[in-house]
Amino acid sequence: MSTTVENIQRQIGENPILIYMKGSPQMPQCGFSAQTVQALMACGERFAFVNVLDNPDIRAELPKVANWPTFPQLWVEGELVGGCDIVAEMHESGELETLIKAAAARVQADEGDAQA
């Protein structure tokens, strides 16, 4: 039986682009999650999500693991990017799309290597 912290670490490790949010990308349950998901979707790459409202253990433990108290949280290649304000600023500057496209390209390259 894995602990919640191990579960979080596995999710972050297995998903190159991951958002912990309230609700789902199709039905965000808070304005900050909605704004963050819109910025992420505008980058045009696939990403994983975890609805912290459906996962109270993760909702309780992730702020301790991440040393970040609020949701949403965007993680790219195992690194916490930040929450809504940071993601929105990065989206405005074009930095978010560059980061997301680079992560997605590395995933595709890794998958190509695995199939060769």
Scan for tokens 């990308």, then name that residue: 25
Tokens of 56: 């109270």
For 4-110, the fitting CATH number among 1.10.10.10, 3.40.30.10, 3.40.50.300, 3.40.630.10 is 3.40.30.10
Please give the DSSP secondary-structure letter assigned to residue 70: S
What pLDDT, on a 0 to 100 scale, did the predictor assign at position 108?
83
Structure pTM? 0.93
Angle between helices 31-42 and 95-115 (to 10 degrees): 60
Phi-psi sector, 44: left (phi>0), alpha (psi -120 to 50), beta: left
Q: What is the mean pLDDT of each run of 10 residues along the chain (116 residues)?
A: 90 97 97 98 97 97 95 98 98 97 89 63
What pLDDT, on a 0 to 100 scale, did the predictor assign at position 1?
58
Tokens of 57: 């253990």
